[in-house]
Amino acid sequence: MNKEWHFETQAIKSTQNQMTGIRPVNMPIYLSTTFIRNEDGSYNNNFIYSRHGNPNRQILENSVARLEKGEVCYAFSSGMAAIHAIFQSLKAGDHIILPDDVYYNVYMLVSQVFTRWGLEFTRVDMTDINEITNAIQSNTALIWVESPSNPQLKITDIKKVAELARSNHALLLVDNTWPSPVLQQPIELGADIVIHSATKYFGGHSDVLGGCIVLKEKNDTARRIGQIQSLSGGVPSPFDCWLVARGIQTLHLRIMAQTRTAAKLASYLVGHSMIEKVNYPGLESHPQHLIAAKQMRNGYGAMLSVLVRGDRETAMKVANKLNLFTTATSLGGVESLVEHRKSVEGPDSPTPDNLLRISVGLENADDLVADWEQALG
Ligand SMILES: *Cc1c(COP(=O)(O)O)cnc(C)c1O
């Protein structure tokens, strides 16, 4: 620092990073978009410019790759940005098999945007291996699985679909947002790619958007996705990465507690005369309960949906009578939410009119059950 410099120069130089050799226990936030080049032209840790790479993003990516048992992870600014990169990594003329109840915006993105870029798709019932087999074409490049699915909590046999994908030279992708790696690790079941909306359980507090792509191997597909991440720039901010990484520190505790409460709520609702049906893979009455028991561990998740006895209006009325379940979209936060899903997905959606989707939070389980009791009473 030179004392002769003028005020403006001092203002700049005195506030640049001067802290070397500090060893913070937890991760600082590296907002700097650019990094100092060494005299020989190299960069420490290969951090050059934050669109290409940033310490906060690197820590998040390493963490999620490890938790999902993959070789490499790429983080994005939202789940949909990650999903967009997946489709961009395919080529015109490729065919995708999607679940008929795939996360609604994935269907919208493929059908509204990527068909114009030459991608083809077929929607199937992912619980029916024959239907998936019949949908395979010579140009099928990717099979997309969401298990449990949204919002009907259908379960797909990941191992079986993985075998089918492998024998047809297609990639198997699993959207693991709902179970999280605490309850399900698709790469161990044979998936090639795992994606996450980190907005949900990873973040865990409904205050950050994020997305991740984990790949089993650092192969050509991985390199292509890495290239798309850095060239198209849909990257998360350092603060977003910090928030998601902070959420991951309590992921296991939150998922375990929320899952226990959801199981309790599901078994309460199953016996209620105002409830026509409860969709929860932990119930023995669930049509794919045994598959869920085989491929999930630690429980069956903190998401469920119910069909209220009655029509759309009855379901809406029940949602509005709940005090501890906020009527809002999204899921995976510490607060419980309830949503009339069909009105979010629009008139074309296959979701029943009387379905309410429930995201169970960290409130006391007895309080949450009592809340449903009064709302249905
Ligand atoms: C929310 C969600 C997405 C999309 O993620 P965003 O972070 O909202 O872009 C994708 N898949 C599933 C299963 C989701 O719940």
User: Which one of 103, 152, 174 would you pick to mutate in the ligand 1 pocket, going by the greatest count of ligand atoms within 8 A of its CB?
Assistant: 103
Beta strands in the chain (DSSP E): 72-76, 95-99, 120-124, 140-146, 171-175, 193-197, 211-215, 275-279, 303-308, 326-327, 337-340, 355-359
Could you confirm whether 51 is annotated as catalytic? yes
- Scored b (16 or more CB within 10 A) or e, 5-39 reads eeeeeeeeeeeeeeeeeeeeeeeeebeeeebeeee
**Dihedral sign, CA of 41, 42, 44, 45?**
positive
Q: What pLDDT score does 349 carry? A: 83
Q: What pLDDT score does 200 carry? A: 98
- The type of residue at 135 is A
Range with lowest mean pLDDT among 218-232, 238-252, 338-352 = 338-352
Ligand 1 atom with least separation from CA of 211: 7
- pLDDT tens for 91-133 read 999 999 999 999 999 999 999 999 999 999 999 999 999 999 9
Give the pLDDT mean for 45-57: 97
Q: Taking 90 as the threshold, does the pLDDT of residue 243 lie above it?
A: yes
Ligand 1 atom with least separation from CA of 81: 9
pTM confidence score: 0.97
Q: Are strands 355-359 and 337-340 parallel, antiparallel or unpaired?
A: antiparallel
In whole angstroms, give the CA distance from residue 372 to residue 369.
Answer: 5
Question: Which of 103, 104, 201, 300 is flagged as catalytic?
Answer: 103
Grade residue 344 by pLDDT with cuts at 50, 70 and 90.
confident
Q: What pLDDT score does 346 carry? A: 83
For ligand 1, the distance from its centroid to the CA atom of residue 244, given in whole angstroms, is 14
For ligand 1, the distance from its centroid to the CA atom of residue 175, given in whole angstroms, is 9
- Tokens of residue 122, six digits: 């077929």
Could you confirm whether 254 is annotated as catalytic? no
Q: What pLDDT score does 350 carry? A: 85
Give the pLDDT mean for 255-267: 98
Q: What is the mean pLDDT of the chain?
A: 97
User: Which one of 86, 98, 105 would you pick to mutate in the ligand 1 pocket, going by the greatest count of ligand atoms within 8 A of its CB?
Assistant: 105
Q: For atom 5 of ligand 1, which residue has the closest CA?
A: 79
Grade residue 192 by pLDDT with cuts at 50, 70 and 90.
very high
- pLDDT tens for 280-329 read 999 999 999 999 999 999 999 999 999 999 999 999 999 999 999 999 99
Could you confirm whether 103 is annotated as catalytic? yes
Q: Taking 90 as the threshold, does the pLDDT of residue 364 lie above it?
A: yes
Q: Taking 90 as the threshold, does the pLDDT of residue 251 lie above it?
A: yes
In whole angstroms, give the CA distance from residue 108 to residue 102.
Answer: 10
- The type of residue at 294 is K
Q: What pLDDT score does 345 carry? A: 85
Confirm if 193 and 171 have CB atoms less than 8 A apart: yes
Ligand 1 atom with least separation from CA of 332: 15
Taking Cα atoms as reference points, which of 248, 269, 244 lies closest to residue 358?
269
Cβ of 200 less than 6 Å from ligand 1: yes
- The type of residue at 103 is Y
Taking Cα atoms as reference points, which of 215, 248, 243 lies closest to residue 229?
215
Q: Taking 90 as the threshold, does the pLDDT of residue 1 lie above it?
A: no
Confirm if 107 and 101 have CB atoms less than 8 A apart: no
Give the pLDDT mean for 125-151: 98
- Tokens of residue 260, six digits: 């226990």
Confirm if 341 and 297 have CB atoms less than 8 A apart: no
Q: What pLDDT score does 337 carry? A: 98
Cβ of 150 less than 6 Å from ligand 1: yes
